[in-house]
Structure 1
């Protein structure tokens, strides 16, 4: 554990670094962008709603006139959008210091992505798997780069149902969410194993924000038009959550602390809230066999094959 609580004030300058944040126009993603913009990083808001992203950019530039914040369209529920984003990014940028896979959906009714995947598994895991694989050359070419996968405490209820990953036989919103968040951790485990095996400098790290008050809790009640669930979630946030500005600390610590090692899992010291520390996930998150199986399935489903060698011409 840390010798003293890590706070935002301890986050070092990020000048000269390029950062991609998915789901960057609200909640934890927005807080992540604010922190990096204030420390002079070049930040790319990878968002589905580009108009909302542009509003964020305008607000940040008022607060930090020298900030280098731009918007790029990314819909993680559409593999073509992911591919287009990755191609455009690599055409315009020569380095990538941090990929922060933050975006997600939580406990929603059964929906499918444009490619026919269950929405939570497709967005939270497969979309980020495809994105990471396609910008990996830029990460590998950048000394000290990191991939940060934002998981959730809800991974503890997750189990990898490899016989029904898409919930076609039986679907539970919360169990599907738990499965997708467990997949984030298994993805990190296998990604770090392969990075280490190939002696890459890039690190894969995972984190969770505890119970943080964001708009994520309100999407499902709005989709189902449940005013009761909406009120209950609002009350629960008021009573038990921490603000997003505190929930983002594990992400920022994982991304910027000099003491981080690949494969670590960072979360609040009091489980649901508090300053960031190294924590342990559910034992299922360390199942190397499940991680390898998920990796193989993810490559097949997305069509993205990872290469851990830096292509000629990428600097």
Structure 2
């Protein structure tokens, strides 16, 4: 009988009946919120987990909390700063030396609704730089290993229902021409996650690597730390009375869809970068020309990354 999941399904419930022992997972933003719950649930299921965190101290606390609950957990802390493409490269290179086999990469880390325009060390708008571009480079660094394994593996890109708010502008990805909008920027970065998944899946046709993007739900975590108090109150207090897409989930429920995307055997036949919501394949609100946009976004991302790494290498040589 086909497995059935609902809005309130938890990440642990998703893994019931699955044999995940011997699998390995890389989880970004694993030190808090749904990332921490994802690492906890996968560790409980016997997965070897590489918990990626920007803040080493917070990462160590997360690892300790999981090991206190599951002393036999195969859990390792790995530092990753997605805002800095040079550090992303270094982190990925180090990870590949530690992790000989990668079954799941869950791109969970993110920032939301920065009130003011901020830029990464390489000059990219911060929300797109972290949520999309940093993850794009990190995944690209790990992909050769995943493809050469010739075994089924998954790349999971955590997007958001906020992709509908984007007003996506392929010609102004770094907010150099428009007046900055904290929600417009966040929405654009989440649209970029979906388009990234679509194009990456197309490029991986013929391999055993599957790609999914998803909306985890509206969850009260520290992702919302940049929201004003009145905005948080409106968003979360009214949640239970809002239509289903805007109701709030707790953290175990919020982690369910990304764990499902990473582990569900019934998703193996999906090969087009599908979008998930509530542990089901869903339909995102994409522009009519989204496949063309996805290709252009990929090209722009490659150009951004190459220029950033070349510039950094040149600066290093000049010292």
TM range, smaller chain: 0.7 to 0.9
Q: Which residue of 2 aligns with 1:281?
A: 284
From 191, 199, 204, give the equivalent of 1:190.
199
Please show how residues 158-307 of structure 1 align to structure 2 within 5 Å: 158-169=166-177, 170-196=179-205, 199-217=206-224, 219-221=225-227, 226-229=228-231, 231-233=233-235, 235-236=237-238, 240-260=247-267, 261-262=270-271, 263-268=273-278, 276-284=279-287, 287-303=290-306
Q: Work out the number of aligned pairs and report it.
A: 289
Mind listing any 5+ residue stretches in structure 1 that lack a counterpart?
A: 269-275, 305-315
Q: How far is 1:237 from its partner?
A: 5.8
- Secondary structure in 2 aligned to 1:81? helix
CA apart distance, 1:229? 4.0
Distance 1:33 1:10 in 2: 14
What is the CA distance between 1:236 and its match in structure 2? 4.5
Q: Unpaired runs of 5+ in structure 2?
A: 242-246, 308-319
What is the deviation of 1:126?
0.2
How far is the alpha carbon of 1:227 from its aligned partner?
4.5
Measured in 1, the distance between the counterparts of 2:72 and 2:229 equals 43
Does the 8 A contact of 2:127 with 2:185 survive in 1?
A: yes
C-alpha distance 247-227 of structure 1, shift in aligned 2 (>3 A) = closer
Contact 2:14–2:259 (CA under 8 A) maintained in structure 1 = no
What's the counterpart of residue 136 of structure 1?
143
Structure 2 equivalent of residue 107 of structure 1: 113
Matched with 2:36 is: 30
| Alpha-carbon offset, residue 3 of structure 1 | 5.8
**Could you tell me how far apart the structure 2 residues matched to 1:27 and 1:133 are?**
25
Equivalent position SS for 1:283:
coil
The more displaced of 232-241 and 201-210 is 232-241
**1:54 CA displacement:** 0.7
Q: CA deviation at 1:9?
A: 2.9
- Post-superposition offset of 1:180: 0.5
CA-to-aligned-CA distance 1:44-68 (integer Å, 9 cap, x gap): 1111011111111111111111101
For 2:164 and 2:284, the matched residues in 1 are separated by 8
- What TM-score do you get using the length of structure 1 for normalisation? 0.87
Cα separation, 1, equivalents of 2:84 and 2:230: 32
Asked whether the equivalents of residues 92 and 142 of structure 2 are also in contact (C-alpha less than 8 Å), the reply is yes
| d(CA) in 2 for partners of 1:182, 1:227 | 26
Match of 1:116 among 123, 135, 144: 123
> Does 2:171 align with 1:157?
no
1: distance between equivalents of 2:214 and 2:289? 14
Deviation at 1:160, TM superposition (A): 2.6
Shift of 1:255: 0.8
Q: Give TM-score scaled by structure 2 length.
A: 0.86
The aligned counterpart of 1:309 is none
- Partners of 1:216 and 1:58 in 2: CA distance: 22
Inter-partner Cα distance in structure 1 for 2:82 and 2:4: 37
1:228 Cα deviation after fit = 3.9
Specify the SS of the correspondent of 1:284.
Answer: coil
8 Å contact from structure 1 (residues 95, 141) kept in 2: no
Match of 1:5 in 2: 5
1:311 corresponds in structure 2 to none
Measured in 1, the distance between the counterparts of 2:288 and 2:88 equals 26
> How large is the RMSD of aligned CA atoms in angstroms?
1.9
Q: Give distance in 2, aligned partners of 1:292 and 1:49.
A: 33
Report the Cα offset of residue 18 of structure 1.
1.2
